[in-house]
Structures are given as C-alpha cells and as structure tokens.
Structure 1
C-alpha cells in the first residue's frame, strides 16, 4: 500500500507541476493574442484614416 501511495503522490506532484507549466503557456498565448489583436486594430484604424483623408 505504501508503494501505491508513493506512486500516487509522485503522479500527483508531476501533474501539479505540469499544470503550472500549461497554465503559464496558456497565459503567454493569451497575451500574444491580445497584443496581436491590438496591432490589428491599430492597422485597421490607420487604413481607415488613410482612406478618409485621401478623399
């Protein structure tokens, strides 16, 4: 029973460590997507103003 408990504890610790890593990757990916969205909005604004002022 002790070996099984130790295996479970090891598995759980590894799972927790991986969960932290996965969460960090998700947050980083989210930040990148937000920045890409901001860049796209600024590009669209620039295009709109260029179009409006060229008329």
Structure 2
C-alpha cells in the first residue's frame, strides 16, 4: 500500500470492508475473493501480498 500510495480509506471506497481491514491488521484469515480484490486495487499478484510462514 505504501509503494502504491493507497490508503485504508481508498481500500474502503474500493469495496474492502472494515471487518476485513481489521482481519488484515491482526494477521487473521481472509478469503481468496479479498486477495483478488486487493490485487486488483494494488495492481499486483498474490505473491506480492501473501507470505506463508
């Protein structure tokens, strides 16, 4: 988000809801649909935003 200068507000406007943003902040599970939305908003691939531990 920092590299693309996209704020949380912009994510909200693009269809990512508050509950999902909260889950992301707390490293909780999100759906593949959310990953797809984030990739479309950020113009990236899942490899750019997903880390397997």
TM-score category, normalised to shorter length: under 0.3
TM-score (norm 1): 0.24
Q: Which has the larger radius of gyration?
A: 1
Say which structure is richer in helix.
1
TM-score (norm 2): 0.25
